Amino acid sequence: MEYNFKAIESKWQKFWSDNNTFKVDVDKSKPKFYVLDMFPYPSGAGLHVGHPLGYIASDIYSRYKRLQGHNVLHPMGYDAFGLPAEQYAIQTGQHPAVTTDKNVKRYREQLSKIGFSYDWDREFRTCDTDYYKWTQWVFIELFEHWYNKENQKSVPIRDLIEVFCREGNGKINAATDQIDVFTAEDWNNKSEKQQQEILLNYRIAYLADTMVNWCPALGTVLANDEIKEGLSVRGGHPVVQKKMRQWSLRISAYAERLLEDLNKLEWTDSLKEIQRNWIGRSEGAEMNFKLKGQDLEMEIFTTRPDTSWGVTFMVLAPESDLVQKVTTEEHKAKVEEYILETKKRSERDRMADAKSVSGQFTGAYAINPLNNQEIPIYISDYVLMGYGTGAIMAVPGHDTRDFKFARHFDLPIVQVVVKKGENPTDPKDWDDSIDSKEGKMINSGFINDLDVNAAIKQTIQYIEEKGIGKRKVNFRLRDAIFSRQRYWGEPFPVYFKEGLPYVLEKDKLPLELPKVDVYLPTEDGEPPLGRAKNWTTEDGYPFELSTMPGFAGSSAYYLRYMDPKNNEALVSEEANEYWQDVDLYIGGTEHATGHLIYSRFWNKFLFDIGWVCKDEPFRKLINQGMIQGRSSFVYRIKYNEFKDDAKKILSNFVPYLNYKKELKFTKNPSVRELRNLLNFRKGDVFYFDEENNIVLISRKLPSRIKRKIEEGNLRDKYEFLVLSEKEIKDKVIFNERINNFFKQGLELSVGNLENTFVSFNLRKEYDVTPIHVDVNIVSNDILDTEAFKNWNPEYKNAEFILEDGKYHCGHAVEKMSKSLYNVVNPDDVIEQYGADTLRMYEMFLGPLEMSKPWDTNGIDGVHKFLRKFWRLFHDDQNNISITEETPTKDELKVLHKTIKKIQEDIERFSFNTSVSAFMICVNELTDLKCKKRDVLEPLLVLLSSFAPHITEELWQLCGNNGSITYVSFPKFEAKYLVESSFEYPVSFNGKMRFKLELPMEISAKEAEDIVLSHEQAIKWLDGKTPRKIIFVPKKIINIVI
RNA sequence: GCCCGGAUGGCGGAAUUGGUAGACGCGCUGGACUUAAAAUCCAGUGACCAUUAGGUUGUGCGGGUUCAAGUCCCGCUCCGGGUACCA
């Protein structure tokens, strides 16, 4: 039988599905292993070849782990709530659930065709009520907990209430927005409403006013990437900053733990670094600046308290509450105006002129607590309310933004740090601030002459002693805004009583998403849920109108896979105890600051409240590189150019002859002769037909036209002007003929050439427009010209200028996208080559972590390999042919070399080199004509993780029953690789000159003697005595002359 | 700007701890088989010089360490990713 991948692949996919081959359950007799792919969002476009890259890698690893005797949990499901489905719903009126369902089914179908070993019984979608019930459940828990900094843990809010009743909030060390201190008595005297308001300041899930991008025209809030230059991407309407009461999650409470625990994880350094930057821990000091003439203080955060002597002004964020308090009467109007400007400018203008400096003096002065100088207080939009305290001390000498601001407002600049070996300079001459990371302090009182680091320590010590401020660690990580004014998401299990939020009883869950007539905001700007009828509790209290964001559903999905059908809990204790955490997580870096931070936070919270046994969800994580598209181009010659060409020919033509001389054509007139005859000048060109009539005469003909004429191409397209001797002599006839010729020529050229495409390497000779062409009609950069004509009616009459008889396309690496015609669909590849080829080729492309363009140029090689592998098991008549003979030493060596290599490669996720190793192995066994069961069966097992279909089939053809999935991975035996000799490269001064076979166990002395007496060595030594001989056993011999 | 990666033939890439640079595959060239095509097989393939034998050179650029550098160190260039009025 031939290698019929279509029959084989569908046969085994059916077998796996019929036999539940990959179904797993808790099985304490086996070690567990949990392999997870990042949750896909099922888009309408379906999978392209980039998506499966990580899935294939994780599938190989899963299958490998099964062969190693592990109980492998390898699930798949869908992150199914989200904006694209909602937008499609807005456009078409179809319920997002309908389109989502359709998309999910298409994904499932495509995934099935690639032969993944998922346990499909565990499949779910985030939009299933059975699933989002638990998302809502976790939200309720988040609402009912607060973060105790004392033991760094989330604890129930009822414990907090108890403390408040007993002793107030004075001793509580919580992550909170509560500033005011109250006693037990205060607390007990407060109304329920007041108490609830205070509790919101402590809850992990809390309501607070936050800034959002509000688009009045669309009546909705927009994400940052839905806005371009201050306008909505959809419709181009203006967007403004607006304060809105929204749910937030107090993820900032976990900043320290999220940062610290990164050290426990086996993630790539670059990914950890992205998270570290995002969390943004900075050590420094909080300092208080007294205000001149007022009983007020300004609190600032700085990482560089040592530069305090260089502070020459202060800057407040325009949004800061302090602005109103400090601004003097005479500056009030201007300050108000500036604040108004800032609000208006918000997104759009700030982006447009990010480099310009603006600000406004408040009229107030602060006192620098270190040198008692009076310094002016400004407001400016370069200081953000959301970071630190919304106020800074400006050190223009050593900070670029402060420097620009100082120059703009003509404020003093003082140098306080000098680099080692340099002298202080006059700030008046500076173009920019001076770097101050290293150096010595100057102009800085008691810290003068200290190094920067020592100066920071001394300053902090001083300000703590004097009560000016204290050491402080600041984080960049902001609390996560958890409300979305959208329809297609999880409803909050929240209702409002007297304007205050209360959560539903858990037995009321799930709170199902209600039906609405259209998926748009209401007329008064409320979210789509505002349209739902009876969207209230049984007692008539209104439900929350926002829904949860995308990350809500994807933050605990890995836990649900452990126990997806459980109705009593998100995950049972038993399942969680057994599966623990994800051992291997594969996905793209694009989730580095979203999903991967949120789910770590979410998991830590669940850990704190005792629901899960591990405080980190993903032990090892691998980032697959992006598969980019490789676009192909054709080059269309510009229409206008041809018009110009025709004109040019016309104007260059020389309709003039010298009649004084007799015109006489010889059979092969030389150019010189003609030039003389016709009085042409240098650079003029003329052409002849076969009968030596002049057919065209031109001065400075464009080279491309010239070439066409020489190639004879134009003769097919143009009626050439053919002039006889007599016609050339008669000026009137001549001119008439010429004029008519060009009139005709112009029409013809414009008519024919506007749809002409020129091959890649000839494109420079023309003025061309590159046009994206569907990569599916291009093979190895050669265009299928017939397919091209049929591809688009516009190109039906296309003409081609070829090179070597072929049309070569240009190419570029871009993102894979429908609009660029570079999308390659895995279904098409599978149709042509089969899933096993697709799987192996995606791995063969290069290292998993690296981005690379999808380029099918090499796929034939991988397919050929599988066919060759198939032939290894068959005779010339294509009958299965396996012998029971004992393998030879050479055959066992090939096998065990491969076992070792494959095992090592899989374990370090170097799948591209495994594919090479398989190729080498099959090449060698083919050369050895090895058909022995004891060699080929272990090889089948090795390959089965990579190419599961062909190996299952061959496994059966070899006479085995059942699936190859659960047999044992072949054991590597070093004894088969033992060599008796080693072929040493012998180099002279580090340059390899010849090779020499020497016994394995040889002393340096013996080796030296043999080498030096070798004729090649004698030649290279050329009579000289070696100065030194390096002998590295089993590596190299180097002779230094 | 800052942080993190990367750069090796015509192309994708290999070289795991400093030890034979270019494995494996594609492409290309030549050949075998065939009426022909497909499929398959064989040989060659970094560049330069040389009839051959062989030699020189070569891992983005410039230095350095070493018996030996794609690999380590110092200084650059370019490309990719992340991030930002972050104090």
Whole-number distance in Å between A805 CA and B35 C1': 26
User: What's the CA–C1' distance between A824 and B63, in Å?
Assistant: 46
Per-residue pLDDT band for A385 (boundaries 50, 70, 90) equals confident
Which pLDDT band holds residue A60 (cuts at 50, 70, 90)?
A: very high
List bases, strand B, within 7 Å of protein CB.
3-5, 11-16, 19-21, 23-28, 39-42, 55-56, 67-69, 80-83, 85-87
* Reported confidence tier of residue A967, pLDDT bands at 50, 70, 90: very high
Q: Which of A425-434, A544-553, A1014-1023 has the highest mean pLDDT?
A: A544-553
- Give the distance, in angstroms, between residue A1030 CA and nucleotide B51 C1': 38
Cα separation, A85 vs A95, in Å, equals 9
| A848 CA, B5 C1': Å apart | 14
Closest residue (CA) to C1' of nucleotide B2 is A277
Rounded to 5°, the CA angle A200-A202-A203 comes to 70
In angstroms, rounded to a whole number, what is the distance separating the alpha carbons of residues A665 and A725? 8
Confirm whether A807 is domain-assigned: yes
Nucleotide nearest to A813 (CA to C1'): B80
Query: Which range is least confidently modeled, A140-154, A393-407, A575-589?
Result: A393-407
Q: Look up the protein residue whose alpha carbon has the minimum distance to the C1' of B25.
A: A861
**Gap from A313 CA to B86 C1', Å:** 19
A886 and A961 part of one domain = yes
Question: How many percent of chain A have pLDDT more than 70?
Answer: 85
Q: Pick A423 or A192 by higher pLDDT.
A: A192
* Closest residue to B23 (CA, C1′): A916
Domain assignment of residue A864, yes or no: yes
The kind and range of the H/E element at A249 are: strand A240-249
What pLDDT score does A796 carry?
Answer: 78
Structure tokens at A448: 């003068």
Q: What is the DSSP string of A549-580?
A: -HHHHHSSHHHHTTSTT-SS-SS-HHHHHHH-
Q: Pull the structure tokens for residue A449.
A: 């002459």
| Distance CA A918 to C1' B24 in A | 9
Predicted local confidence at residue A734, as pLDDT: 61
User: CA A276 – C1' B2 distance (Å)?
Assistant: 14
Asked if the structure places residue A101 within a domain, the reply is no
Q: Which nucleotide is nearest to A307 (CA to C1')?
A: B87
**Measured CA A966 to C1' B79 distance, in angstroms:** 45
User: What is residue A388's predicted lDDT score, i.e. its pLDDT?
Assistant: 81
pLDDT (tens digit per residue) in A316-355: 988 888 888 889 999 999 888 888 777 665 544 454 455 5
DSSP string, A305-337: GGGGGG--EEEE-TT-THHHHH--GGGHHHHHH
Query: Residue A320 sits in a domain of what CATH number?
Result: 3.90.740.10
The answer to whether residue A84 sits within a structural domain is: no
- What pLDDT was estimated at residue A772? 81
Residue A468 corresponds to which tokens in the numbers above? 């000016």
Pairing mode of beta strands A799-801, A756-758:
parallel
Structure tokens at A865: 């390999």
Distance A113 CA to B35 C1' (A): 41
Residue pLDDT, tens place only, A44-56: 888 888 888 899 9
Residue with the bigger pLDDT between A465 and A670: it is A465
Q: What is the mean pLDDT of residues A25-42?
A: 93
Per-residue pLDDT of A241-294, as tens digits, reads 777 889 999 999 999 999 989 888 888 877 888 888 889 888 888 899 999 888
Q: Identify the pLDDT of residue A780.
A: 65
The amino acid at residue A760 is F
Nearest residue to B20, CA vs C1'? A985
- Nearest alpha carbon to residue A746 among A717, A722, A768: A717
- Using CA atoms, how far residue A583 sits from A622, A908, A911, in Å, is 11, 14, 18
Average pLDDT of the residues in A892-904? 93
Same domain, A687 and A763: yes
Highest mean pLDDT among A39-53, A739-753, A756-770, A961-975: A961-975
Nucleotide nearest to A853 (CA to C1'): B12
- Angle (CA) A240-A246-A252 rounded to 5° is 105
pLDDT at A717: 37
Task: Give the least confident one: A355-359, A964-968, A998-1002, A1030-1034.
Answer: A355-359
* φ, ψ of residue A266 in degrees (nearest 5): -95, 70
C1'-nearest nucleotide to the CA of A855: B12
Closest by CA to A949, choosing from A6, A223, A7, A9, is A9
The residue among A357 and A191 whose pLDDT is bigger is A191
Strand, helix or coil at A491?
Answer: strand
How do residues A777-794 score in pLDDT, each as one tens digit? 776 677 778 888 888 777
Three-state helix/strand/coil letters over A700-722: CCCHHHHHHHHHCHHHHHCCCCC
pLDDT higher for A705 or A134?
A134
User: Count of domains in chain A?
Assistant: 5
State the DSSP code for A736.
H
Closest nucleotide to A918, Cα to C1': B24
Of all residues in chain A, what percent carry a pLDDT higher than 90?
Answer: 39
The amino acid at residue A647 is K
Q: Do residues A425 and A501 both lie within one domain?
A: no
Continuous segment of H or E residues that includes residue A281: strand A281-291
Residues A912, A776 share a domain: no
- Of A670-684, A812-826, A981-995, the poorest mean pLDDT is in A670-684
Domain-terminating residue out of A969, A998, A1022: A969
Are A879 and A756 contained in the same domain? no
Token digits of residue A347: 């997104």
**pLDDT at residue A623 above 80?**
yes
Distance A915 CA to B19 C1' (A): 26
Minimum-distance residue to B11 (CA–C1'): A857
| Range with lowest mean pLDDT among A234-238, A709-713, A768-772 | A709-713
Q: Which domain range does residue A871 map to?
A: 836-969
- Specify the pLDDT at position A356: 67
Is ipTM > 0.85 here? yes
A849: the nucleotide nearest its CA (via C1') is B5
- Mapped onto helix, strand or coil, the DSSP state of residue A291 is strand
Question: DSSP 3-state assignment of A600?
Answer: helix
Which residues neighbour A983 within 8 Å (Cβ) at sequence distance 6 or greater? Answer: A995, A996, A997
A183: Cβ contacts below 8 Å, ≥ 6 apart: A167, A168, A170
Lowest mean pLDDT, pick from A268-272, A934-938, A939-943: A268-272
> What pLDDT was estimated at residue A699?
41
Looking at residue A662, its pLDDT comes to 35
Instruction: List the one residue out of A844, A839, A865 whose CA is nearest residue A926.
Output: A865
Q: Who has greater pLDDT, A658 or A203?
A: A203
The closest of A254, A256, A257, A252 to A283, measured between CA atoms, is A256
Burial A232-249 (b: 16+ CB within 10 A, else e): beeeeebbbebeeebbbb
Q: Report the pLDDT value the prediction gives residue A722, as an integer from 0 to 100.
A: 52
Q: Which residue is nearest to nucleotide B86 (CA to C1')?
A: A387
Question: Domain for residue A206, yes or no?
Answer: no
Highest averaged pLDDT of the listed ranges A454-458, A494-498, A633-637: A494-498
pLDDT at A748: 47
Give the pLDDT confidence score for residue A739 in this predicted structure.
57
Residue A2 has pLDDT above 70, yes or no: yes
pLDDT value at position A162? 93
A711 burial via Cβ count (<10 Å: 0-12, 13-18, 19+)? exposed
Which one of A420-424, A756-760, A862-866 scores highest in mean pLDDT? A862-866
For the stretch A81-110, pLDDT in tens is: 988 888 888 888 889 999 999 999 999 999
Q: Which nucleotide is nearest to A989 (CA to C1')?
A: B67
Residues A1027 and A930 in one domain: no
A582 neighbors A626 (Cβ within 8 angstroms) = no
| Domain-terminating residue out of A412, A441, A475 | A475
Residue nearest to nucleotide B82 (CA to C1'): A274
A528 and A493 both lie in a single domain? yes
Check residue A733 and give its pLDDT. 66
- Protein CA A332 to sugar C1' B46 (Å): 74
Look at residue A737 in the predicted model and tell me its pLDDT.
Answer: 62
Q: Which residue has the higher pLDDT, A686 or A766?
A: A766
CA distance A702 to A714: 14
> Contact A394/A315 with Cβ under 8 angstroms?
yes
Contact A773, A633 (CB under 8 A): yes
Please state, in angstroms and rounded to a whole number, the distance separating the CA atoms of residues A786 and A634: 14
Residues A323 and A387 in one domain: yes
A737, part of any domain: yes
Q: Which two tokens stand for residue A654?
A: 């020389």
Looking at the structure, tell me whether residues A430 and A488 fall in a common domain: no
Nucleotide nearest to A991 (CA to C1'): B68
The span from the CA of A699 to the CA of A708, in Å, is: 16
Query: Residue A974 contacts by C-beta under 8 Å, 6 or more apart in sequence?
Result: A896
The pLDDT of residue A672 is above 50: no
CATH code where residue A889 lies: 1.10.730.10
**A440 and A500 fall within a common domain:** no
* Residue A921 CA, nucleotide B51 C1', distance (Å): 39
- Please report whether residue A862 resides in a domain: yes
Q: Which nucleotide is nearest to A846 (CA to C1')?
A: B13
Tell me the pLDDT of chain A averaged across its residues. 83
Q: Which nucleotide is nearest to A357 (CA to C1')?
A: B85
Claim to verify: residue A664 and residue A807 sit in the same structural domain: yes
- Sign of the torsion angle spanned by Cα atoms A689, A692, A694, A698: positive
pLDDT in the model for residue A351: 46
pLDDT at A753 over 80: no
Domain termination residue (choose one: A500, A517, A547): A547
| A791-830 tens-digit pLDDT | 877 787 777 877 666 777 777 767 777 777 878 888 888 9
Query: What nucleotide is nearest A351 when CA is compared to C1'?
Result: B85
Q: Is the pLDDT of residue A751 over 50?
A: no
pLDDT digits (tens, 9 = 90+) for A142-158: 999 999 999 999 999 99
- Rounded distance in angstroms from the CA atom of residue A864 to the C1' atom of nucleotide B37: 19
Give the domain CATH number at A986.
3.10.20.590
Task: Give the C-alpha distances (Å, rounded to integers) separating A825 from A50, A120, A358, A719.
Answer: 9, 23, 51, 47
Q: How many CA atoms within 13 Å lie on the side-chain side of A57?
A: 33
Among A226-235, A417-426, A625-634, the range scoring the smallest mean pLDDT is A226-235
Q: Which three-class secondary structure string do you get for A114-139? A: CCCCCCHHHCCECCCHHHHHHHHHHH
A627-652 b/e (C-beta count within 10 Å ≥ 16 → b):
bbbbbbbbbbbbeebbeebbebbbeb
Whether the per-residue pLDDT at A865 is higher than 70: the answer is: yes
Query: Can you spell out the DSSP letters for A74-86?
Result: ----B---SHHHH
Q: Is the pLDDT confidence value at A584 over 50? A: yes
Give the residue with minimal CA–C1' separation from B21: A992
Å between CA of A627 and C1' of B24: 21
Q: What is the reported pLDDT for A29? A: 94
pLDDT digit string, tens, across residues A835-851:
999 999 999 988 888 87
More confident residue, A61 or A1022: A61
Residues A793 and A865 in one domain: no
Quick check: is A203 in a domain? no
Q: What pLDDT shows up at residue A678?
A: 42
